[in-house]
Chains A and B, each alone.
Chain A
Amino acid sequence: MVLQRLKPLLIVSFVSIFLLNTVTLFANEKAAAANEEGSFNVTQTILEHIKDDHSWHVWGHTTISLPVILYTPAGFEVFSSAKLVDEHHEPVVYKGKFDYKLVEGKTKIVNAAGEVDAAASKKLWDFSITKNVASLFISVIILLLLVLTAAGAYKKTGINSAPKGLQSFMEPIVLFVRDEIALPNIGAKRHAKYMPFLLTIFFLILTNNFLGLIPIFPGGANVSGNIAFTMTLAVCVFIVVNLSSNKNYWEHIFWMPGMHWSMKLFLAPIELIGVFNKPISLMIRLFANITAGHILVLSLVCLIFIFKTVYAAAVAVPFVIFIFLIELLVAFLQAYIFTMLTAMYIGMASEEAHHDHH
């Protein structure tokens, strides 16, 4: 089980080390590589697909421009991302309140010479509707439509009829979250209070995981494999867990009952690290699992371009399908694990003291 959980982490760390090495190599040989017209860079391709972007590449030469929203020392500034690139999708300087330019996909302030002004860029807050944000909004709309429609069915048909249509699709999942996640971990007495939180987390992760697996337009963004997304959720979990904590929980952290005082002193810092470690593990697990899946699929597809022969597809495509099927499972599994652990942490933090000795 531990090894299974570590596997995606290992994959993602190996792949990132590999990517980073090639990135530095690539940087060194950039001049040389630039001369080679039409050369294919695997690392760059994969990273571009996984990373966030200011515009959304749909297919071929079709790109959706997204709004760029910047908070600068001179106030807010909003413009289209199309202004940051030329017709060949190469970054150009856009002159607003400052001079902006995309450097490795990020908006930076540049000086008159076209060089990045690091000091000014640090004061630049980028609230742009990026590809990931747009994808997140799409998932929010899908969720609102799905869930509100399903919930409306209860009002229409009342509670006397069996669930129908969308309602019968949603109800087992809601019941799954209630009966398999909330009830065993939080307990019958307090679980109802946390159900909306757990359900929202579960469905938001699940929807974004599935959207990320769709290779064409409404999907394709790597939202749930983005550290910012998982971090936000982990912070929310951290806040909720600590808000629902009681005296018993903190006693077990700072002054473990039933231990010798020296052990208590020894355990306190470890337990305190655990308080932060739990949401951090949530953050990294989801990020690593989803990103690893995307990297795997992209790497397999890239085999065709690395070998420069279409026959490589004979090997790559079955593997891609196989990994995709596994990713479908992982998409559900990760949403489940994230929600389950959240429920477990809430349950641990709000557990009533039981007066037996350890």
Chain B
Amino acid sequence: MFLEINPLVLPDIGLVFWNTVAFLGLLVVLGKFAWKPMLKAISDREKGIEDSLAKADKMKADLTAMQNENETLLAKAREERATLIKEAKEASEKMIAEAKDKAKSEYERIVADAQVAINQQKNAALTEVKNQVGSLVVEVAEKVLRRELANKAEQETYIKQLADGVKLN
């Protein structure tokens, strides 16, 4: 047989036996204490890196979303401020206008009141004057009566003249 002729291709039972022992021993020892922990650590690390990358991506997305939100909020705030300022301006203008109106109306009222008072006083003064004139007339009439009651017609004319003279305005 060919195996018997060539010493190179004739396997020795010794090496076969020891190699089996060595290989199986290596397989068990390295498998249990080296390959499995190593592969586990490597895959754990890979998973960790993957997770971290995913987390970083998510955080980036979150940050962008937050920035967008901030910008929207800022824009909204700016708008609100503008509205507020506008409203305040309007309110103040309105208040000023109202105050002006009020002042004007007050002024007019005061003026009107004053006129009314003036008129009243004037009327009162006039009334007094009239009253005084009346009493004067009565006095004059008395005097006239006392002096001269003969001439009745002449007297009446005279009284008329007096009365007309007293009439004011």
A residues sitting closer than 8 Å to B (CB atoms) are: 16, 20, 47, 50-52, 69, 104-106, 125-130, 132-133, 136-137, 140, 143-144, 147-148, 150-151, 154-155, 159-160, 170-171, 174-175, 178, 192, 195-197, 199-200, 203-204, 226-229, 231-233, 236, 287, 291
Contact = CB atoms under 8 A, between A and B. Distances in A.
A241 to B, nearest CB: 15
A232 B5 contact: no
B27 A200 contact: yes
Interface string B1-24: 000011111111111111110110
A231 B37 contact: no
B68 to A, nearest CB: 33
16 contacts: A126-B14, A133-B14, A133-B15, A136-B15, A136-B18, A140-B22, A144-B29, A148-B33, A154-B41, A196-B30, A197-B31, A199-B35, A200-B31, A228-B12, A229-B19, A232-B20
A195 B30 CA distance: 11
B26 A159 contact: no
Contacts of A125: 13
A203 B14 CA distance: 22
A190 B5 CA distance: 43
Interface string B89-124: 000000000000000000000000000000000000
Contacts of A192: 39
A196 B15 contact: no
A232 B23 contact: yes
Nearest to B27: A200
Interface of B: 5-20, 22-23, 25-27, 29-31, 33-39, 41-42, 44-45, 48
Given A154-B41, A160-B45, A232-B20, 16 more contacts: A16-B8, A125-B13, A127-B17, A133-B15, A151-B37, A192-B39, A196-B31, A196-B36, A197-B27, A197-B31, A200-B30, A200-B35, A228-B14, A229-B15, A232-B23, A236-B20
Nearest to A231: B11
A118 to B, nearest CB: 12
Given A127-B18, A129-B18, A137-B22, A291 B8 contact: yes
Given A127-B17, A129-B18, A192-B39, A204 B26 contact: yes
B26 A126 contact: no
Contacts of A236: 20, 23
Max chain A C-beta neighbours (<10 A), residue from B10, B19, B42 = B19
Max chain A C-beta neighbours (<10 A), residue from B15, B41, B42 = B15
A228 B15 contact: yes
Contacts of B35: 147, 151, 174, 195-196, 199-200
B18 A51 contact: no
B45 A144 contact: no
Nearest to B19: A232
A236 B22 CA distance: 12
A232 to B, nearest CB: 4
Contacts of B15: 52, 130, 132-133, 136, 226, 228-229, 232
Contacts of A196: 27, 30-31, 35-36
A171 B42 contact: yes
Contacts of A200: 23, 26-27, 30-31, 35
B38 to A, nearest CB: 5
Q: Which 6 A-B pairs have the closest CB atoms?
A: A196-B31, A228-B11, A228-B15, A151-B34, A154-B41, A159-B45
A227 B34 CA distance: 28
B41 A159 contact: yes
